[in-house]
Amino acid sequence: MVFHWFPVIGSTITYGINPIQFFFECREKYGDVFSFVLAGRTVTVTLGAKGNNFVLGGKTSHISAEDVYTNLTTPVFGKGVVYDCPNSTLMEQKKFVKFGLTVENFRYYTHVIADEVEKFLQTHECFKTYRDNANSSDAWGSFPAFQTMSELIIYTASRSLQGEEIRAAVDGSFADIYHDLDGGFKPINLLLPGLPLPMNIKRDKAQKKMSDFYVGIIEKRRAQGEQKEIDMLASLMGQRYRNGRTLSDREIAHIMIALLMAGQHTSSATSSWALVHLAARPDVWQTLYEEQVQNFSNGDGTFREIEYEDLCNLPILDSVIRETLRMHPPIHSILRQVKDDLVVPPTLATSRGGKPKSEDNTYIIPKGHLILASPAVSQLDPDIWKNANIWEPSRWSDPEGVAAQALDQYENGSEKVDYGFGAVSKGTSSPYSPFGAGRHRCIGEQFAYVQLGTVIANLVRKLEIKINCVPPHNYRTMIVVPETPDDISYRRRV
């Protein structure tokens, strides 16, 4: 047990200020397995690749994600989906979502995302300098990284995944509803659910409005008969559970809300981190630009449009995204609740100098306690990664390097498992797992690469950027984002 002065508070404050630093400091004292008190709950942390595998690869008969997260997600996403249903149902819902993430869809999404980036540069107030200096690269403007990328990401996500009706509404009252709904997605609701806080009252009203909004679109589409939309909504409307039951309109609405909220948060954070690092490394930004020129230049200063298949053949762009995810995985702590007394394997308990106190050389985690994995610790471990705290995309270009080996283990591990949404690499033992691993691995992983790659590639064609320094982490939010100020200076390429 990590030492603390106050019984209920425990290590809550220290953990909340900087969880990664807290984990590394505790690991030096206690090894890879230790427990701490978080707002009155006992949390057992298991670090390293073995620790990740213990939590992320755990059986549903032993541990539960639903019991941890439903109080946070259900009031936001809605009833009957994600963590407000049996795990087997969630796996079927992930399969339904996967049907909307086909190659055909990705080809379409790539084009509409590029179109949204161009519209954003032509209309957003932060890019007035860009518009007013069409023939000059002397004038510099600026934009706040996270705030600006959050807006751009919701436009690209709503236009591609969500559908034209949702994209058309984002600029209007939908934005206010989204803001109120997002306001309830806070860490306090994970630890202390059900508090009658003003933000939660607004959240509950917004959830109903947004759910009704989606149901209205679904009903309108059904009334119009067969449509040819290429979006997630169209895909979900044709799905059935294994028992033959169709998805209800309300279930579809709630899955769509979950996709919008989850994808917007994570991609906004990752794109923001990528841009602030690129702004601090003009050499990498220039190399990215040269990659675009080499592959897409028309020879007259213009570029041909990026196709989905192109994104698989841009190694520098790919390295930038992977390195950003290594240093800044959106979620630093992954929790599960123990359903029955759980034995920690001796090899995990004794790693890094840990010393089990029981005579039979085992730890027991009691029923009702929480367990926590932090892939972020593995991804920043100096024992694994050279210069672990330095953002260096070139590490991914070495086919024999640690990064390539970790990626191969994550994506092509020897153990393939079908949890109900298609066979995937289990990936739970890799020191690199930015999208989680096991049965709860993010189903939107491939779309995230399409979205991030298309956004960054189109921005590098248009802008030069710089920043004084990379801002520190803001750990006060559910998703780790850059602390403000995070202003990036830009000028137009001519």
Phi/psi of residue 332, nearest 5 degrees: -90, -20
Which residues lie closer than 8 Å to 207 by C-beta, 6 or more apart?
75, 76, 78, 181, 184, 257
DSSP line for 56-70: HT--TTTEESHHHHH
The answer to whether residue 263 is domain-embedded is yes
The answer to whether residue 196 is domain-embedded is yes
The answer to whether residue 257 is domain-embedded is yes
Confidence of residue 230 (pLDDT cuts 50, 70, 90): confident
Whether residue 452 has pLDDT greater than 80: yes
Mean pLDDT of 12-21: 96
Whether residue 343 has pLDDT greater than 80: yes
Whether residue 57 has pLDDT greater than 60: yes
Q: What is the CATH number of the domain that holds 165?
A: 1.10.630.10
Phi/psi of residue 297, nearest 5 degrees: -65, 140
Whether residue 341 has pLDDT greater than 60: yes
The answer to whether residue 183 is domain-embedded is yes
**DSSP bridge partners of 492:** 463
Task: Evaluate whether 261 touches 267 at the Cβ level (below 8 Å).
Answer: no
Of 46-55, 119-128, 129-138, 235-244, least confident by mean pLDDT is 129-138
* pLDDT 10s digits, 363-385: 899 999 999 999 999 999 999 99
Q: Report pLDDT for 494.
A: 78
Q: Report pLDDT for 412.
A: 85
Q: What is the mean pLDDT of the chain?
A: 92
Of 89-103, 231-245, 357-371, 396-410, least confident by mean pLDDT is 357-371
- Largest distance between two CA atoms of the chain: 76
Percent of the chain surpassing pLDDT 70: 97
Q: Report pLDDT for 352.
A: 65
Whether residue 358 has pLDDT greater than 80: no
**DSSP bridge partners of 334:** 373
The answer to whether residue 66 is domain-embedded is no
The answer to whether residue 38 is domain-embedded is no
Q: Report pLDDT for 359.
A: 54
Whether residue 355 has pLDDT greater than 60: no
How many independent structural domains does the chain possess? 1
Whether residue 227 has pLDDT greater than 70: no
Question: Cα separation of 142 and 127, whole Å?
Answer: 8
Whether residue 89 has pLDDT greater than 90: yes
Q: Report pLDDT for 192.
A: 86
Mean pLDDT of 335-346: 94
CA neighbours closer than 13 Å in the CB half-sphere of residue 398: 13
Whether residue 164 has pLDDT greater than 70: yes
Of 43-52, 262-271, 342-351, least confident by mean pLDDT is 342-351
Three-state DSSP class for residue 372: strand
Question: Cα separation of 465 and 24, whole Å?
Answer: 33
Mean pLDDT of 417-438: 86
Q: Report pLDDT for 429.
A: 86
Full domain range(s) for residue 179: 87-328+439-492
Q: Report pLDDT for 133.
A: 87
Q: Report pLDDT for 215.
A: 96
Question: Cα separation of 399 and 118, whole Å?
Answer: 35
Mean pLDDT of 445-454: 96
Alpha-carbon Rg for the chain, nearest whole angstrom, is 23
* pLDDT 10s digits, 182-217: 998 888 898 888 899 999 999 999 999 999 999 999
Mean pLDDT of 4-23: 96
Q: Report pLDDT for 360.
A: 59
